Structure 1
Amino acid sequence: MKYEELMNRFSWEEVIKTFDWDMNEYFNAAHECCDRWADDPNRIAIYWENEAGHKETWTFHKLKEQSNRMANALRAKGIKKGDRVAGLLGKDMELYVTVLAVWKIGAVYVPLFTAFGPEAIRYRLENAGCKVLLTNQEQANKLKRTDISTELILIDGLTKNGQTFWEYINSFSDEHETEKTDVMDPCTIQYTSGSTGLPKGAVWAHKIFVSSYPFLRYGIGVEPGDRLYGGADPGWAFGLINCTFAPLSFGISILSYKGPFDVATVYRLLEEYKISNFAYAPTAFRMMMAAGPELVKKYNIQVKKFSSAGEPLNAEVVRFFRENFGREIYDQYGATETGMIVNNLNVTDMTVKPGSMGLPAPGFHIAIVDNDGNPVKKGDVGQIVVDTTHFPQFFLGYWNAPEKTESKMLGKWFQTGDLANQDEEGYFWFQGRDDDIISSAGYRIGPFEVESNLIEHPAVSEAAVVGKPDSAKGEIVKAFVVLNPSFQGSDELAKELSNFVKGKLSKHQYPREVDFVESLPKTPSGKIQRYLLRKESAKN
């Protein structure tokens, strides 16, 4: 299919008809992602495997029953529509069951990343007012010295009655009536880092699953009978929605592997589970290329569609996959607040231009504009913006932060903060950020949170954090530190500061490099000029 033909044929009215409930009356993500497919007792939802080789096969029927039980368990704890429930786990079936259960009672799910340290976890729990946190003992240990009001449910611990997690859940009925939520009722609060201030919670409506349809169907190219393996972590938007629950809303099977990334393991999984559709971050694809073509030949891999998201993909990686898998990787672009809005569409015959973000997604109204909101000429750099008055809008604003929401608006346009230009054929090309967000291995890292934690160390007087170009990760976090008078810079102190942040925030946020400086460049009003530090970092 040609891109132009797809754009002309696309209709939101037709998309709406693919869902089970009429969204003009009510709509619930859990019903669309699970229950609507559960009448067939043999229809497989999730193939699950962990690093130790333990395997489970979950049908939609089983997923429905267990999420019903979990919904009843949460209701027994007093959780009701609108309440917030957090999850701090990796790719665990207990997590997937709980997310569905939260949506079934009309509550709001708050995803957390397992690499977060105690301060990062505490802030999000308290900011969102989470009543319950589903986690495990390893993660709970991070909170031992942290005063939080959230009740913990441990998947590897015992209840007060001495029951295991599944014994407790199975003590509840598997009958539950899903809340008939409105399509614009909130379902999730996904925290996202900003260049100033602490992370802010982007609130999604249940409508995100309607708005995600064009990306899943045409970008990734999901079709009946597919088996999809998406490697992203469910603590982040792409992993939670595009690798897990949005594919399930199509009634297809997904693979969830709980274990570290290893190229040979990935190839084995692709072969064993007959994966037809594969989505991962650029870092993973670069590692697959680095492992070489000989390893590819050892496996019978039947993937028909490859997709990447998180940061621009290197041209040499695209060529490697074309030569060794017979299929290019289709790069995709989106933002937490907008969904996936610029795509290389797997279902079309469009030319893949290595390094390009692709073309605008069907059904969205996006543009590249100047600072006044006026569209720029082809070839000129501007900011990618999305029309919030258009149908696919599902972003409800930032949790308890209307001023932050307003600051992202430019008339009807939501400002992504990403700079790009368009070539003569309409392809988008990423040019950087208009703020100080760091993009490292697909993670978006705000400098403020890292700087705030550095300053808590007794040696640090001031700190500024920027992204330094890196061939493997895109960027790494680099810190420029002004020390208090009684301290002297050394390799040992640099390592100590890195570990200090790593212990408080997460494994992807800590500074990989620390430079000690006499002072930081600032504007007359005292704001740190990070762009000068980025220029300095790029030289080294």
Structure 2
Amino acid sequence: MKDTLYIPGKETPNMPDYDSLCDKFKWENEFKNLERLPGGGLNIAHEAVDRHANSHLANTVALRWIRKDRSLIDFTYSDLKIQTSQFANVLEKLAIKKNDSVFSLVGRIPYLYVAALGTLKTGAVFCPMFSVFGPEPAFQRLSKGKAKVLITTTKLYQKKIKQLMPRLPLLRHILLTDAKQHIDEKVLSLSMLMDEAPDEYLISNTQPEDPALLHFTSGTTGMPKGALHVHQAVLTHYVTGKYVLDLQPGDIFWCTADPGWVTGTSYGIIAPLVNGVTNIVDEEEFDAERWYSILEEHRVNVWYTAPTAIRRLMRLDFKPLEKYDLSNLRLIHSVGEPLHAEEVIWGKKTFGMPICDNWWQTETGGIMISNYSSMEVRPGSMGKPLPGIEAAIGNIVEDKVQLLTKPMEQGHLLLKKGWPSMFRAYLDEEERYKKCFKGEWYVTGDLAKKDEDGYFWFVGRADDIIKTSGHMVGPFEVESTLMEHPAVSEAAIIGKPDPLIGELVKAFVVLKPGHERSEKTKLDIKGFSRKKLGPAVAPKEITFTDSLPKTKSGKILRRLLKARELGLPEGDKSTLE
């Protein structure tokens, strides 16, 4: 499918030619497009809000919040400057200092976005949490992150946080977004504090390497890991917004991710604002008709969503272009779990454009490998590295990297150290952090291949790889093949211990509506996969299931399926969808 997404009459992409930009790309040249602070420092909130509020974009809508009832509140860049400055002054009044941690436990409401950017203005570190976290996952993060302030609602405080207070001696203040009066000297009304706060604030002279964002990523066991990012990450947010999401002046952008997930912060807050466009925020959860109507009503140009949502849309017997005017939509991107080729092609059939997959991690802070608007989209591929990023495939031998150079050799996906949004630490886990690096390379933990044209192809997590009868089987390859069967809606693959062949390939399958969970269906799927993959790689066992366990970011939790299958400890389930 040799599609480029731009057609005559549409905007010229910011990156008309991938190869020529890669040849001349320098991070320092892009850095010149940011303003920096008067004292020479760098602050994410200044680049995302204040510099636009002080320019011709002052009255441009920065944030459009869609309530559950579909009513709207618009915040211009000027409005956002005032409100984030007020929040910064609130923190200052509460004696929050540089590098202190400020957490949020709220849904997608304006105060979340104001708090994130206001916190960054002060030089404190912002850490968002999913509002659906129970008390224990919230405690783990608040405790490990040494939270000084938490922004939440009265209901969430009463239900989840109040019981934790004796265990959180460092937590000084709870700021309730919906309380009209202060509860006590520790539990305060945020609206009262905001009303009393000055609307001008002199941003802390933060430096590029000063801590800014803390994101927790689930471990297979025990406590989640806290990945720490610095203010220099804003350069990656700016560049990826410009060249991957192709954000252009006047664009309406919608990232459906919650800021509790790194995508919802990097691309649901920072990247669109740094690029000076209008950012849509929907308070409500997934609803297909609502989503399509938002795309139409708000004339969304660029849409960034997750594979889980795309697969839900695919299950519907519905052609959106017959009911909705989506003519303003020019680009769709997806992240979270790799997109199968079938899903990319579905985008072409449904919206007139393939869905562009991209790859990155909490640790990378921003998009590292992607399909691009002006480049051929190869369904099932991760795409090519962001200009300025050096990616490679290699083996780890005696703690050293050996690069693989032949096309489609399978190995570890590696990134050359030093990009602006690279995480700078796992909080209080120095040895764990060091183990992520081998010499000049960051070892991502993912396995991949690179074809002769430089496109990368995801194989699977290194710890998900199945060793069966001498073969190394990546789950993604098998899952993609199963997805081609007309009865299969979703599939997940694990390795199950077997005394003869090491591990056998087991599939968990969600059937499409109208297909029967029968032995006949099971045999048909097995036969189909054996024909496509060969008997050594095709699943030997299939279990039908109503749904697959996923994180809130859409990643299939294969390790959870395996733990349940083998009766093992399930590990951290705090981000379970």
Q: TM-score, normalised by structure 1?
A: 0.80
Distance 2:414 2:127 in 1: 26
The farther-off stretch of 159-168 and 176-185 is: 159-168
Q: CA 1:49/1:180 → structure 2, altered by over 3 Å: closer, same or farther? A: same
SS across alignment from 1:191: strand
SS across alignment from 2:31: helix
Q: CA 1:250/1:9 → structure 2, altered by over 3 Å: closer, same or farther? A: same
Paired residues for 1:13-24 under 5 Å: 13-21=28-36
Match of 1:46 among 38, 58, 63: 63
Computed over aligned residues only, the root mean square deviation of the Cα atoms, in angstroms, reads 3.2
Paired residues for 1:460-499 under 5 Å: 469-470=508-509
- 1:30 alignment partner in structure 2: 45
Distance 1:317 1:99 in 2: 34
SS across alignment from 2:200: coil
Q: CA 1:204/1:305 → structure 2, altered by over 3 Å: closer, same or farther? A: same
Distance 1:225 1:257 in 2: 19
**Equivalent AA in structure 1 for residue 161 of structure 2:** L
Whether the 8 Å contact between 1:115 and 1:508 is mirrored in structure 2 is no
Q: CA 1:175/1:161 → structure 2, altered by over 3 Å: closer, same or farther? A: farther
Paired residues for 1:239-388 under 5 Å: 239-301=264-326, 302-338=328-364, 339-346=366-373, 348=374, 350-372=375-397, 373-376=401-404, 377-388=406-417
- 1:157 alignment partner in structure 2: 179
Q: CA 1:309/1:330 → structure 2, altered by over 3 Å: closer, same or farther? A: same
Distance 1:467 1:173 in 2: 61
Distance 1:337 1:469 in 2: 29
- 2:424 alignment partner in structure 1: 396
SS across alignment from 2:235: helix
Equivalent pairs, count: 466
- 1:486 alignment partner in structure 2: none
**Equivalent AA in structure 1 for residue 52 of structure 2:** W
Whether the 8 Å contact between 1:226 and 1:252 is mirrored in structure 2 is yes
Summarize deviations over 1:259-278 as a string: whole Å, max 9, x none: 01011101110111110000
Distance 1:411 1:271 in 2: 49
**Equivalent AA in structure 2 for residue 312 of structure 1:** P
- 2:141 alignment partner in structure 1: 124
Match of 1:115 among 132, 156, 163: 132
Distance 1:296 1:289 in 2: 14
Distance 2:363 2:213 in 1: 12
- 2:435 alignment partner in structure 1: 407
Deviation at 1:8, TM superposition (A): 1.6
Match of 2:162 among 135, 140, 144: 144
Distance 1:93 1:35 in 2: 17
**Equivalent AA in structure 2 for residue 414 of structure 1:** Y
Q: Which runs of 5+ in 2 are unaligned?
A: 1-15, 466-474, 480-504, 513-547, 572-577
**Equivalent AA in structure 2 for residue 194 of structure 1:** G
Distance 1:48 1:467 in 2: 44
Distance 1:472 1:186 in 2: 46
Deviation at 1:508, TM superposition (A): 9.4
Deviation at 1:296, TM superposition (A): 3.0
Q: CA 1:148/1:393 → structure 2, altered by over 3 Å: closer, same or farther? A: closer
Moved over 4 A (4+): 161-164, 436-440, 466-473, 507-517
SS across alignment from 1:395: coil
Q: CA 1:126/1:290 → structure 2, altered by over 3 Å: closer, same or farther? A: same
Paired residues for 1:161-200 under 5 Å: 165-200=190-225
The farther-off stretch of 323-332 and 232-241 is: 323-332
Whether the 8 Å contact between 1:227 and 1:275 is mirrored in structure 2 is yes
Deviation at 1:105, TM superposition (A): 0.6
Match of 1:216 among 241, 246, 257: 241
Summarize deviations over 1:343-385 as a string: whole Å, max 9, x none: 1012x2x211111100111011221110131111321111111
SS across alignment from 1:220: coil
Q: Which runs of 5+ in 1 are unaligned?
A: 441-465, 474-497, 521-527, 531-540
Distance 2:458 2:300 in 1: 30
Whether the 8 Å contact between 2:106 and 2:130 is mirrored in structure 1 is yes
Q: CA 1:161/1:201 → structure 2, altered by over 3 Å: closer, same or farther? A: closer
**Equivalent AA in structure 2 for residue 430 of structure 1:** F
Whether the 8 Å contact between 2:37 and 2:46 is mirrored in structure 1 is no
The farther-off stretch of 331-340 and 313-322 is: 313-322
Q: CA 1:41/1:133 → structure 2, altered by over 3 Å: closer, same or farther? A: same
Q: CA 1:22/1:469 → structure 2, altered by over 3 Å: closer, same or farther? A: farther
Distance 2:228 2:509 in 1: 32
Identity %: 34
Whether the 8 Å contact between 1:207 and 1:394 is mirrored in structure 2 is no
The farther-off stretch of 19-28 and 63-72 is: 19-28
Q: CA 1:529/1:108 → structure 2, altered by over 3 Å: closer, same or farther? A: closer
Whether the 8 Å contact between 1:159 and 1:168 is mirrored in structure 2 is no
SS across alignment from 1:371: strand
Q: CA 1:514/1:192 → structure 2, altered by over 3 Å: closer, same or farther? A: closer
Q: CA 1:436/1:516 → structure 2, altered by over 3 Å: closer, same or farther? A: closer
Whether the 8 Å contact between 1:187 and 1:204 is mirrored in structure 2 is yes
Paired residues for 1:424-439 under 5 Å: 424-435=452-463
**Equivalent AA in structure 2 for residue 374 of structure 1:** Q
Distance 1:285 1:393 in 2: 27
Deviation at 1:60, TM superposition (A): 0.8
Whether the 8 Å contact between 2:344 and 2:379 is mirrored in structure 1 is yes
Deviation at 1:512, TM superposition (A): 7.8
Deviation at 1:313, TM superposition (A): 1.0
Summarize deviations over 1:323-354 as a string: whole Å, max 9, x none: 232211110000111131111012x2x21111
SS across alignment from 1:337: coil
Q: TM-score, normalised by structure 2?
A: 0.75
Deviation at 1:516, TM superposition (A): 7.6
Whether the 8 Å contact between 1:37 and 1:251 is mirrored in structure 2 is yes
Q: Given the alignment of the two structures, is residue 101 of structure 1 paired with residue 130 of structure 2, yes or no? A: no
Summarize deviations over 1:408-433 as a string: whole Å, max 9, x none: 11112111101100111111111111
- 1:480 alignment partner in structure 2: none
Q: Given the alignment of the two structures, is residue 12 of structure 1 paired with residue 34 of structure 2, yes or no? A: no
Whether the 8 Å contact between 2:181 and 2:192 is mirrored in structure 1 is no
Deviation at 1:31, TM superposition (A): 0.3
SS across alignment from 1:289: helix
Summarize deviations over 1:154-212 as a string: whole Å, max 9, x none: 11224427985323312111011001100110001111123354211100001111023
Q: CA 1:170/1:254 → structure 2, altered by over 3 Å: closer, same or farther? A: same
**Equivalent AA in structure 1 for residue 223 of structure 2:** L
